[in-house]
Each structure stands twice: as C-alpha cells, then as structure tokens.
Amino acid sequence: MRRATFISVSAAAALIVALLVGGSSAAARGPSPQLRAKEARAQAVIAQVGALDRRFEQVTEAWDGARVELSRTRVQLDRNRNALVVAERQSHRAQRRLQQRTVALYEGQTLTTIDVVVGSTSLGDMLDRLQAAHDVATSDALLVKSVTRAAERLRRTRAKLQGIAHARVVALSQLKTNRAQIGSMLAERRTLLASVQKEVATIRERDRRQQLALAAA
C-alpha cells in the first residue's frame, strides 16, 4: 500500500514538474513565425521608404537648382532684349543718317570736291577740307558697320539664350514629373509601412496574450 502511494505521489510530482517546465517554455518562447515575418516585412518597407526619401530629396534639389538657372536665363534674355532694342534703334538711325548724307551728296546739298577746291583759301585749307569731308563720310560708314555688327551679335546671343531657356524648361518639366512620381511612390510606401506596423503591433499583442494564457494554465 505504501509502495502504491509512493508511486502515485512520484507520478503526480513528475506531472507537475512537466507542466511547469512546459508552461515556462511556452511563456519564454520567442516571437511567432507570423510575427517574425511581419517584422521582416516592416523592415523591408522601411528600407524602401528610406531609399525613396533620399531620391525625392535629390530630385527636389535638382528641381530647385533648375528653377534658379531658368530664372537667371530669363533675366539674361530680358537684358538682351532691351540691349537689342537699343542697338537696332542705333543701327536704323545710323543707316538713315548715311542714306540722307548720300542723297544730299547726289542732290548737290553737300560740298563736292570742286566746291572744296574753289572755296579754299590755300592749299592747306583745301587739303583740310577734303580730309574733313572724307573723315565725315568714313565716320558715318564705320558707325553703321559698328552698330549693325553689335545688333547682329545681340541677335546671335538672343538665339543662343532662347535655346538654353528651352532646354532648361524641358529639363525642369522632366524633373517636376520625376519628383511627382517619386512623391507618389513615397506616400504609397509610407501608407503601407503604417499598415504593416499596425499588423505587427496586433500580432505582437496576440502572441503576448497567448503566452500569458499558457503561463497561467
């Protein structure tokens, strides 16, 4: 009888120890496979968000720089336009002056070489008058060439600036599109991250309650 009682007590003690060990193991076990999978998913999305955030920052900086460069080019175009207006006005004025002098020469309204010779008081005076007439004609012609060349240089510069401005407008438009696309992807990833993190918190709380229940059993 004593032997049977001893065996029963020993068996009960072994069962209690087994339950305690099992309960402790259940309570002390690590995260569930589902929780580990969700946490890994969250880390992957966090990495994606970080990469997109860096790309968005880079594109934004490039976009801001392109806007500044385009603004500078437009300022240069405005200055060129004003300078070209002045140069063309000067060119037209010089050409008109040269034409008027040429017409006056043919119509006899200016001194001819004979007039200079007849009206001169001495050989030196005649040479001075001839040189003066030649200098005036040469000066008018040089002025026309100078202002015409200046206007032409400004036109070439304007064409070049217009090409640069067009290229920068295209580049700015592309950067704006890229920025919008990356921003949309970034917002989508952030929304996904918030959802995954919420699922992680839910699974973690469920696992915690299960472990508490096992420990209390």
- Which of 84, 87, 98 shows the shortest CA–CA distance to 146? 87
State the Cα–Cα distance between residues 66 and 43, nearest whole angstrom: 35
Neighbours of 62 (CB within 10 A): 16
Cα 138 to Cα 101: distance, rounded to the nearest angstrom: 12
For residues 34-49, average pLDDT: 92
At 125 the pLDDT is: 45
Is pLDDT of 30 > 50? yes
Count, residues in the chain: 217
Residue 105, pLDDT > 80, answer no
Record the tokens describing residue 66, joined without a space: 């392109």
Q: 16-25, 136-145, 180-189, 193-202: which has the minimum mean pLDDT?
A: 16-25
pLDDT(95) > 80: no
> Distance between CA atoms of 144 and 87, rounded to whole angstroms?
11
Residue range 33-216, CATH number: 1.10.287
**pTM, entire model:** 0.58
| Residue with more model confidence, 9 or 129 | 129
Of 66, 54, 52, the C-alpha closest to 175 is 66
Task: Quickly state the pLDDT bin for 21 (edges 50, 70, 90).
Answer: very low
